[in-house]
A and B are shown apart, each in its own frame.
Chain A
Amino acid sequence: MKLDSKAPEGPLAEKWTKHKFNLKLVNPANKRKYDVIVVGTGLAGASAAASLGELGYNVKAFCFQDSPRRAHSIAAQGGINAAKNYQNDGDSIYRLFYDTIKGGDYRAREANVYRLAEVSVNIIDQCVAQGVPFAREYGGLLSNRSFGGAQVSRTFYARGQTGQQLLLGAYGALNRQIANGKVKMYTRSEMLDVVIVDGKARGIITRDLITGKIESHSAHAVLLCTGGYGNVFFLSTNAKGSNVTAAWRAHKKGALFANPCFTQIHPTCIPVTGDHQSKLTLMSESLRNDGRVWVPKTARPGLKAADAVNIPESERDYFLERKYPSFGNLVPRDVASRNAKYVCDEGRGVGTTGLAVFLDFSDAIKRDGEATIRAKYGNLFDMYAQITGDNPYKSPMMIFPAVHYTMGGLWVDYNLMTTVPGLYALGEANFSDHGANRLGASALMQGLADGYFVIPYTLGDYLAGMPYEKVSTDRPEFKEAIDTVQSRINKLLSIKGKKTVDQFHRELGLTMWDYCGMSRSEKGLKFAKEKIQKLKEEFWSNVAVLGGAGELNQELEKALRVADFIELGELMVDDALNRSESCGGHFREESATPDGEAKRKDDEFAYVAAWEYKGENQPEALHKEELIFENVKLTQRSYK
């Protein structure tokens, strides 16, 4: 298989304009003859479904929550980037492009990233027109902040609820199309397979989560906007329902999966308190602007935050400031996370589990006063106090890294099409724009770019070449897919084993976290692969799923998702094994500089690793898309 990125030729700044002109159009009167399935109603899915409905296509949209407004995008806090240069501080499309490709450690496609930066400005216009209440200055114009160490202020925000406000804007646009009859919305409906007819994606199989009914839906094209797979780690900052099933099923039907091992671990999350922990809560990384990260110089197991104040300065190790004097506590996410892990591995972690480090505001409070700190971080401090029962104004916070985002995903070309014709992937579900590491405030931007401003153009090009005829769901391809789904469900219900789905999921998560998390080695990864294979066997012989198929059955929903996570876990390990370089969020212990920092190997690994499914228990085949950099010079990161 030859991977063709379809990235247009020509100067970077003209590629998208030229490409749009070359794309075929569907006549306005003919758009209603095409049906499009959009799975997912997060920022990517809601914006795509609404925009395609406005153009005149017949859209069917799906989500597993009870309302499209509850997609995981709702939880994004910090903000969304756009190269508006409203602050007159030297931002430009090129600078946003450059920062994003560099931030991704040069593992993304230049053309895609440039387009993302280019349409970022339209996103803000669109959202404001919808009535999204972004933060404003006293003069009435939009406010910006600098985010994640960026040198310019290009982040637009709505207090700490940017994702919510953007999603409600897109949800409004979607609702308008539902009311107009152009979009039909299926809530509490989970896609369990994609249907391929004559080599093209022509439909999906879903399960109605209330009645358990398995249904077929046919269309001319299928868009997967189903989010990321961070929950493969069980504990992550993702919503509990976030899953890989849609993408994984597509993968097993021929869509290549790209860079699965590229995951992002966020340094400032609230630590685990015990075995009951069900998810992790992110604290905005802006906290590192004023908080100082430290652990005791010598191990003090079980040290509580309240007792930390009694540890004299001379016995504290401000390890980020010590190792990275010029960036200090503001080193990028992966560096901060990894170093927290190292000090905990040394036994110097704090709190009851020993898996936490302090984030201390006492100096900032002494310097600026409590009122100033409250004005800046009041809501975060309150949230922390509510969850932990500790008062961060009086004693340091405890933080620990957590899985936050997945850069890997379904491989797509410049048109966002996967390797299956007619099957597209948008938003976090694809691999496209963030390389090996995502910059803060750029996921919201990408989801909305894909949905509002890319797919409305590129989908037309594909549909223009398709006959209007619908395929019937009576065709054998649909029947076969239904049978597969049904027998999978029956199998899960018939095992009647001893271990709960959550127990399997936790075990998988722990293995992934220990061996395919912040720091990876060949030995560890090989060990993890064996463990995952055994876990898969055990799952299919000893999982306990009670209840029936024809009813609301949350254990069954989880079991179907965890079964796919286990398989994905193995592929992530394979991908991490193959990539014996350190880059972005992927740190390979064998590829480090003498002082232990990440070492990228551009001559060997400047490619996208795209994996092809080859059948049950067969090794997957690796395909490489070489990355060609015509505009940026590859440099090694240094934060010393």
Chain B
Amino acid sequence: MKITLKVWRQKDANSKGAFKTYEHSHVSQDMSFLEMLDVLNNELVQKGEESIAFDHDCREGICGMCSLYINGRPHGPLQTTTCQLHMRSFKDGETITIEPWRAKAFPVVKDLVVDRSAFDRIQRAGGYVSVNTGGVPDANEIAIPKKIADEAFDAATCIGCGACVAACKNASAMLFVSAKVSQFALLPQGQPERKERVEKMVAQMDDEGFGACTNTKACEAECPKGISVANIARMNREYFSAITSSYEVMAKGGGD
């Protein structure tokens, strides 16, 4: 296959970026999208040009490190991560535009690499159960209905990639934050800190400069892990009852 690539190149956070066009003639259908870029990068280096910087690590769709806004869609045309996308999803002769995630809270670091540390700071605000190592009860002392456990698991599978933010015209992080809030709101282990958790995580999310929810579900449509917008609805209820009701009411399950 032959393709034309229009790639965003930007030297660093403070420089202005621009698109650069590359003709790429050594593409095979079996390559993953990132392998296609590897091959291009090796050719660039051999020609004495600097390679294109992009984030990636596991290349198995689980670490959440890869990103890329491909032809106007985060992670490209399929609902999967960029590392799991293959060139057979594109046509011979196609022009492919590659940009970094665009969001105020995700500043560009270089080329296609962005800074997603805002996500870590939101998790740090309360995305955990406050237990120390040791001194915990036997694992089977906490029985959890399978249905609840499965629902919590579905929310917990978020890989923190940021596609939801990139997909949203307001660059909202609601899907990401609600996934963690939901996991713990559903599980018995999350109950003692249920109120503070949602309050603190939402406050941090706002501080980071993510926008408000558009209710267009663009995030859900692009999330590679199929995180449901039902989590956003749950987080809204959690947040509302947290700020309006006393702790006791919430602990009894108020607002859900």
Binding site for B on A (CB under 8 A): 47, 50-51, 54, 65-70, 72, 74-75, 84, 86, 122, 124-131, 133-142, 158-159, 161, 163-165, 168, 171-173, 175-176, 178-179, 185, 187, 210, 239-241, 273-274, 276-279, 281, 386-389, 452-453, 456, 498, 500, 502-503, 544, 546-547, 551-552, 554-555
Given the contacts A131-B184, A277-B35, A72 and B153 also touching, CB distance less than 8 Å: no
Do B132 and A139 touch (CB < 8 A)? Answer: no
Residue in chain B with minimal CB distance to A211: B12
Do B12 and A552 touch (CB < 8 A)? Answer: yes
Do B59 and A279 touch (CB < 8 A)? Answer: yes
Min distance, Cβ A44 to any Cβ of chain B, angstroms: 13
Interface mask (B109-122 → A, CB under 8 Å = 1, otherwise 0): 11001011101100
Given the contacts A179-B124, A273-B30, A452-B133, A70 and B63 also touching, CB distance less than 8 Å: yes
Residue in chain A with minimal CB distance to B84: A386
Set of chain A residues within 8 Å of B127, measured between Cβ atoms: 172, 175
Interface centre among A135, A165, A456, A552 (most CB of B within 10 A): A552
Min distance, Cβ A581 to any Cβ of chain B, angstroms: 35
Across the interface, A70 reaches (CB within 8 A) one of B45, B49, B57, namely B57
**Which of B90-98, B139-147, B210-218, B241-249 contacts the other chain?**
B139-147
* Other contacts beyond A274-B31, A281-B60: 4, CB < 8 A: A175-B124, A240-B57, A386-B84, A387-B84
Set of chain A residues within 8 Å of B136, measured between Cβ atoms: 125-126, 128-129
Across the interface, B129 reaches (CB within 8 A) one of A129, A279, A387, A555, namely A129
Q: Does any Cβ of A come within 8 Å of B190's Cβ? A: yes
Set of chain B residues within 8 Å of A172, measured between Cβ atoms: 123, 127-129
| CA A176 to CA B142, docked complex, whole Å | 22
| CA A555 to CA B51, docked complex, whole Å | 8
| CA A163 to CA B58, docked complex, whole Å | 12
Set of chain B residues within 8 Å of A127, measured between Cβ atoms: 139
Min distance, Cβ B182 to any Cβ of chain A, angstroms: 11
Residue in chain A with minimal CB distance to B161: A70
Do A139 and B143 touch (CB < 8 A)? Answer: yes
Question: Which residues 178-213 of B sit at the A interface, judged by CB distance below 8 A?
Answer: 183-184, 187, 189-190
Across the interface, B143 reaches (CB within 8 A) one of A54, A141, A453, namely A141
Question: Which residues 143-169 of B sit at the A interface, judged by CB distance below 8 A?
Answer: 143-146, 149-150, 152-153, 156-157, 159-160
Do A130 and B29 touch (CB < 8 A)? Answer: no
Interface mask (B49-63 → A, CB under 8 Å = 1, otherwise 0): 111010111111011
A selection of 25 A-B contacts at a CB cut-off of 8 Å is A65-B57, A69-B123, A74-B58, A75-B62, A75-B63, A122-B134, A124-B139, A131-B129, A131-B190, A136-B146, A140-B145, A171-B123, A172-B123, A172-B128, A176-B128, A176-B130, A210-B109, A281-B60, A387-B32, A387-B84, A389-B30, A500-B46, A546-B51, A547-B50, A552-B110
Given the contacts A142-B139, A502-B38, A546-B45, A136 and B144 also touching, CB distance less than 8 Å: yes
| CA A252 to CA B101, docked complex, whole Å | 41
Min distance, Cβ A135 to any Cβ of chain B, angstroms: 8
| CA A555 to CA B57, docked complex, whole Å | 14
Set of chain B residues within 8 Å of A129, measured between Cβ atoms: 129, 131, 136-137, 139, 142, 189
Q: Does any Cβ of A come within 8 Å of B236's Cβ? A: no
Q: Does any Cβ of A come within 8 Å of B65's Cβ? A: yes
Do A278 and B38 touch (CB < 8 A)? Answer: yes
Q: How many residues of B contact A (CB 8 A)?
A: 76
Do B60 and A187 touch (CB < 8 A)? Answer: no
Across the interface, B60 reaches (CB within 8 A) one of A75, A138, A452, namely A75
Do B51 and A456 touch (CB < 8 A)? Answer: no
Set of chain A residues within 8 Å of B86, measured between Cβ atoms: 386-387, 389
Set of chain A residues within 8 Å of B125, measured between Cβ atoms: 179
Min distance, Cβ B24 to any Cβ of chain A, angstroms: 12
Q: Does any Cβ of A come within 8 Å of B170's Cβ? A: no
Set of chain B residues within 8 Å of A175, measured between Cβ atoms: 120, 123-124, 127-128
Min distance, Cβ B114 to any Cβ of chain A, angstroms: 9
| CA A141 to CA B123, docked complex, whole Å | 28
Do A544 and B46 touch (CB < 8 A)? Answer: yes
Residue in chain A with minimal CB distance to B151: A133
Set of chain B residues within 8 Å of A168, measured between Cβ atoms: 156
Set of chain A residues within 8 Å of B145, measured between Cβ atoms: 136, 140
Set of chain B residues within 8 Å of A133, measured between Cβ atoms: 149, 152-153, 156, 183, 187
Do B50 and A69 touch (CB < 8 A)? Answer: no
* The 10 residue pairs across chains A and B that have the minimum distance between CB atoms: A172-B128, A140-B143, A129-B136, A133-B153, A273-B30, A128-B139, A51-B133, A131-B189, A70-B63, A175-B124
Do B139 and A546 touch (CB < 8 A)? Answer: no
Min distance, Cβ B46 to any Cβ of chain A, angstroms: 6
- A-B Cβ contacts below 8 A, count: 215
Do B157 and A161 touch (CB < 8 A)? Answer: yes
Q: Does any Cβ of A come within 8 Å of B228's Cβ? A: no
Given the contacts A140-B145, A276-B39, A546 and B50 also touching, CB distance less than 8 Å: yes
Set of chain B residues within 8 Å of A159, measured between Cβ atoms: 153
Min distance, Cβ B190 to any Cβ of chain A, angstroms: 6
Do B157 and A164 touch (CB < 8 A)? Answer: yes
Set of chain B residues within 8 Å of A161, measured between Cβ atoms: 62, 157
Q: Does any Cβ of A come within 8 Å of B88's Cβ? A: yes
Q: Does any Cβ of A come within 8 Å of B34's Cβ? A: yes
Min distance, Cβ B79 to any Cβ of chain A, angstroms: 11
Set of chain B residues within 8 Å of A277, measured between Cβ atoms: 35
Set of chain B residues within 8 Å of A75, measured between Cβ atoms: 58, 60, 62-63
Do B153 and A240 touch (CB < 8 A)? Answer: no
| CA A552 to CA B9, docked complex, whole Å | 13
| CA A540 to CA B124, docked complex, whole Å | 43
Do A498 and B46 touch (CB < 8 A)? Answer: yes
Do A137 and B134 touch (CB < 8 A)? Answer: no
Across the interface, A138 reaches (CB within 8 A) one of B31, B146, B160, namely B146
Interface centre among B34, B39, B42 (most CB of A within 10 A): B42
Interface centre among B32, B88, B187 (most CB of A within 10 A): B32
Q: Does any Cβ of A come within 8 Å of B100's Cβ? A: no
Min distance, Cβ A560 to any Cβ of chain B, angstroms: 15
Residue in chain B with minimal CB distance to A272: B30
Do A502 and B42 touch (CB < 8 A)? Answer: yes
Across the interface, B117 reaches (CB within 8 A) one of A138, A140, A187, A276, namely A187
Set of chain A residues within 8 Å of B56, measured between Cβ atoms: 240
Across the interface, B133 reaches (CB within 8 A) one of A50, A131, A388, A555, namely A50
Given the contacts A179-B124, A239-B59, A278-B59, A86 and B140 also touching, CB distance less than 8 Å: yes
Do A173 and B80 touch (CB < 8 A)? Answer: no
Given the contacts A176-B130, A552-B109, A67 and B48 also touching, CB distance less than 8 Å: no
Set of chain A residues within 8 Å of B29, measured between Cβ atoms: 389
Set of chain B residues within 8 Å of A452, measured between Cβ atoms: 133-134
Do A554 and B62 touch (CB < 8 A)? Answer: no
Min distance, Cβ A211 to any Cβ of chain B, angstroms: 9
Do A70 and B65 touch (CB < 8 A)? Answer: yes
Residue in chain A with minimal CB distance to B147: A138
Across the interface, A137 reaches (CB within 8 A) one of B119, B146, B157, B183, namely B146
